Amino acid sequence: MKAVIFDLDGTLIDSAPDIHAAVNLTLAEIGAARIDLRQVKSFIGNGVGVLIEKVRAARGLTLPQPEVLERFMRHYNANPATLTTLYPNVRATLELLTAQGTALGVCTNKPEGPTREILAAFDLTRFFSAVVGGDTLTARKPDPAPLAYAVAALNRPTTAYVGDSEVDAETAQRAALPFAIFSQGYRKTPISELPHDASFDDFAELPAVLDRLMPVPA
């Protein structure tokens, strides 16, 4: 039996609009200029702490990191799924994989609380037997520990990882897992320059990709 673990932001969901909104509410609150969506997207991937570090650097903020982070989380937690959308065919693909008996998990650098809230908002909680957030352990991706933790929780002989970014590619490589990269997410590097075993443009393609990465023994 197989397992598949997914990244969240830029993979299952396009959450950048809600993250962007929370960033700009935070900046407005402290009297700083807005940041555009494209730049905020480039800040996503290494966890909320790094996101806020990059926001502070972009706007030359002297307000301490913990205070800016607290303000951001207050705004984001109030509305984590207002503007967020599922990528096309995500739900149908999760339904199909579940029907095939594949165990599913999430491993993301988003804090676990908002992760679970977003999964619930889109009625996705029922698909995932393991949910690992950026604060579930002391380590976060690209450290392979969170991914290894999710693999152990699912406890299947063969597991693949699905993500969209440089961080996900490095995490899968360090965890020695097959990696399929979703081309429509938040990466900044050409796919050809990232370690990966397969790429796909639409979630409708993913089941066939996974069959190639994890063939059933004859």
- 146 within 8 A of 139, measured Cβ to Cβ: yes
Tell me, what DSSP letter sits at residue 35?
Answer: -
211 is catalytic: no
Burial bucket for residue 99 (CB in 10 Å: 0-12, 13-18, 19+) = exposed
Say how far apart CA 177 and CA 158 lie, in whole Å.
9
Please state at what angle helix 90-99 crosses helix 206-213, rounded to 10 degrees. Answer: 40
CA proximity to 205, closest of 44, 31, 76, 87: 87
Place of tokens 């096309």: 88
Q: Left (φ > 0), alpha (ψ -120 to 50) or beta: where does 89 sit?
A: left
Label the pairing between strands 85-86 and 179-182.
unpaired
Catalytic residue among 7, 14, 164, 168: 7
CA proximity to 162, closest of 197, 114, 128: 197
Catalytically active residues, by annotation: 7
